[in-house]
Each structure stands twice: as structure tokens, then as C-alpha cells.
Amino acid sequence: MRVSIRKYSDKPLSDSLLNDLLEKSFRASNTGNMQTYSVIVTRSEEKKKALAPFHFNQPMICGAPVVLTFCADFYRFSQWCKARNAEPCYNNFLSFISATIDATIVAQTFAMLAEEAGLGICYLGTTVYNPDQIVEILQLPELVMPVATITVGYPDECPVQPERLPLEGILHEEVYHDYTDQDIDRIYAAKEAMPENQHFVTINQKETLAQVFTDIRYKKADNEYMSGVLKKTLKQQGFAK
């Protein structure tokens, strides 16, 4: 059973353990064995405080002993190409997607290894909401883009496992199968019936849980604004024209 840990104990996370877990995670599958990813390790309180506002001040950023920012990175590989009389051609959107997939695989591999070692982790999806600010704080060069953030440390809580959709709601055999209204009702029934989710609907004065997502949590205006920032930052970092 895995859960997201948002509260961490004061027990220090040693460099040796962290580096061992990272080194093992770097054995993960990747495109063309190019390893087009980098990981920025943040331990200092100063840097955590600088990053926090751009992760919506979620308490895990400053509360965890270590914050890891996983980056799509074609800069290092391109530098190697230039040093070996080869002309790199990775300043394009396809290269960004390829490197993002590789970085995400590494992040998930690290998360699983960390949990097996008795650590707790929390994945923050906010990394791509404010990439321009994270780029500046972490001093990321061209062709390096932050794509995922994980906080890690020893847990100081035992939260219940969050709900997940049933297998039938996600799995498609051979080809993608469309959903009937009855399918949607059945797939989301347990999620909508949870007391905490019903509470979200009530306190937000909405009719359905779906409206909490569309009207409160992930609004159209916010999505469009952050999409613009993401596109702008991709251009700035050399992954888009």
C-alpha cells in the first residue's frame, strides 16, 4: 500500500542513502540510453523557501528534509555531442517530450525505491504550473526543463490510502472503448460516495464532485494561463519555436 506523505519527522536523510536510491533509479528504462534527465537536490531552507510559493506553498516543500526536482535535460547530451564533433539537433518539442518521459520514469522509480527503504514521498504536480520561476531559482540552462517534484523523508504520519478508480475504468483491451453513461456512473460511484468528497461538494456549494474540479480546483482560466506560461518557458528553454 502506498500513500503520499506530507508530514515528515526530524530524522535526517543521509546523503549515502539518498544517493544510493537515486543511482539505482538511474538504471530505469530510457529513450536510446541517452539518460536525458537531471535531478536537482534541494536541502537548504533558503532554497526550499524560495521554491515554496511556486508550489502554492504546500507545507511539504519546507517540511521535508529533501526536495527533488526532476528535469527533462538535453543540455548535457548536447554538450557531449558538441565535444565529440557531432551536431546536436534536440531543440524541439519531440525531444522535450522524450526527455520528459524519461525523467518521469526515473521519478517514479525513485519513489518506489524510497518507499521500499522506509521513506515517505509526495509527488507535486505543481512543477509545470510555474516552470519559469523554478527555472530561475534552480538556474537551469537552455534545454533543461523542470517536469516533476518529489519531497522525501521519514514519515511522521500514517494517512489512509486514497481512493482509486476501479480497473475496469482504466483498462482497455486491444483498442480504446468508449464509455456509456452507465459506465461512468459505475466507475465513479465509489469516489462520489466517499464522505470527504461529498463534503467537498457541500462546502464549495456545488451540485456534483465533478463541478469541484471544473469550477474550483482546475478552472479553465487557470489552465489557460498556466498553459501560456508553460509554452513561454518551453520557448525560453529552447524546446519550442
pLDDT in tens, 146-190: 999 999 999 999 888 888 999 999 999 999 999 999 999 999 999
Dihedral sign for Cα 112, 70, 19, 102, please. Answer: positive
Find residue 145's DSSP bridge partners.
72
Distance of alpha carbon 241 from alpha carbon 161, whole angstroms: 42
Provide mean pLDDT across the span 187-205.
Answer: 95
CA–CA gap between residue 151 and residue 127 (Å, rounded) = 12
The pLDDT, as a whole number, for residue 241 is: 87
Q: Flag whether pLDDT at 1 surpasses 80.
A: no
pLDDT digits (tens, 9 = 90+) for 68-91: 999 999 999 999 999 999 999 999
- For all residues of the chain together, what is the average pLDDT? 96
User: What pLDDT band is residue 108 in, cutting at 50, 70 and 90?
Assistant: very high
In this predicted structure, the answer to whether residue 2 has a pLDDT above a threshold of 90 is: no
What is the pLDDT confidence band of residue 28, given thresholds at 50, 70 and 90? very high
Q: What is the pLDDT of residue 161?
A: 82
Q: What pLDDT band is residue 8 in, cutting at 50, 70 and 90?
A: very high
Within 10 angstroms of residue 35's Cβ, the number of other Cβ atoms is: 18
Q: Taking the complete model, does pTM exceed 0.75, yes or no?
A: yes
- For range 200-210, the mean pLDDT: 95
